[in-house]
A and B are shown apart, each in its own frame.
Chain A
Amino acid sequence: MAENESQEKIKEDTQKLLTKWKNKRGALIMALHDIQGLFGYVPWEAMEVTAKEMGVPMARIYAVLTFYNYFKLKAPGKVIISVCDGTACHIKGAQGLLDAFYNCLGLKDGQTTEDGLFHLQVVRCLGCCGLAPVIVVNGKTYGKNTPADVQKIIAEWREKMAETQGV
Chain B
Amino acid sequence: MVELTQEQIQKLKELGRSQKEKLLKMGEDFKEEVKKYKAAIYTCNATSCHSGGAASVIDAFKESLETMGLSQDVRMVCTGCMGLCATGPLARVEIKGREPFLYKEVTPDLARIIVSEHVAPALREGPDQPLRLSNYLKSKELSLQLPFFTKQRKIVLARLGHSDPENLGEYVATGGYQALMKCLEMKPEEVLDIIRKSGLRGRGGAGFPTARKWEMLAQAPLCDGEKFMVCNGDEGDPGAYMDSCILGGGAHAVLEGMMIGAYATGATSGWFYVRAEYPLAIERVELAIKQAKKYGILGKNIFGSDFSFMADLRYGAGAFVCGEETALLESLEGKRGTPHPRPPYPTQKGLFGKPTAINNVETLANVPPIILKGPEWFSEVGTATSKGTKVFALTGKVKHSGLVEVPMGTTVECMVNEIGGGTSSGKPFKAVQTGGPSGGVIPASHLDMPICYEELKKLGSMMGSGGMIVMDQDDSMVEIAKFYLNFTVDESCGKCAPCRIGGYQMLQLVKKIADGEGTQSDLKKIQEIGTAMKQAALCGLGQTAPNPVLSTIRFFYDEYESLIQQAQQKKAEKQKLQAEMSSLENEMKKLDERKPDSTVHSAACSGQCKKV
Contact = CB atoms under 8 A, between A and B. Distances in A.
Interface of A: 25-30, 32-33, 60, 63-64, 67-71, 85-92, 123-132, 134, 136, 141, 143
Nearest to B245: A127
A88 B395 contact: yes
20 contacts: A26-B332, A26-B334, A28-B335, A30-B315, A32-B317, A64-B335, A70-B277, A87-B239, A87-B395, A87-B469, A88-B395, A88-B396, A92-B397, A125-B239, A127-B241, A127-B278, A128-B48, A128-B85, A130-B85, A131-B52
A47 B319 CA distance: 21
B333 interface: yes
A91 B471 contact: yes
Contact of B51 (A30, A69, A91, A141): A141
Contacts of B401: 88, 129-130, 132
A129 to B, nearest CB: 4
B240 A70 contact: no
Q: How large is the interface on B (under 10, 10 to 19, 20 to 34, 35 or more residues)?
A: 35 or more
A126 B85 CA distance: 13
B51 A143 contact: yes
Contacts of A130: 48, 84-88, 395, 401-402
B291 to A, nearest CB: 20
Question: Top 3 nearest A-B pairs by Cβ distance?
Answer: A130-B85, A86-B238, A87-B239
Nearest to B314: A30
Given A127-B48, A130-B401, A131-B85, A26 B352 contact: yes
B237 interface: yes
B487 interface: yes
Given A88-B469, A91-B396, A125 B240 contact: yes
Given A30-B315, A127-B277, A131-B52, A92 B332 contact: no
A121 to B, nearest CB: 11
A51 to B, nearest CB: 13
B336 A63 contact: yes
A70 B85 contact: no
B480 interface: yes
A106 to B, nearest CB: 23
Contacts of A64: 334-336
Count chain A CB atoms within 10 A of each CB in B237, B317, B320, B335 and give the residue with the most. Answer: B317
Interface in B296-333: 314-320, 331-333
A124 B234 CA distance: 13
Contacts of A30: 314-315, 334
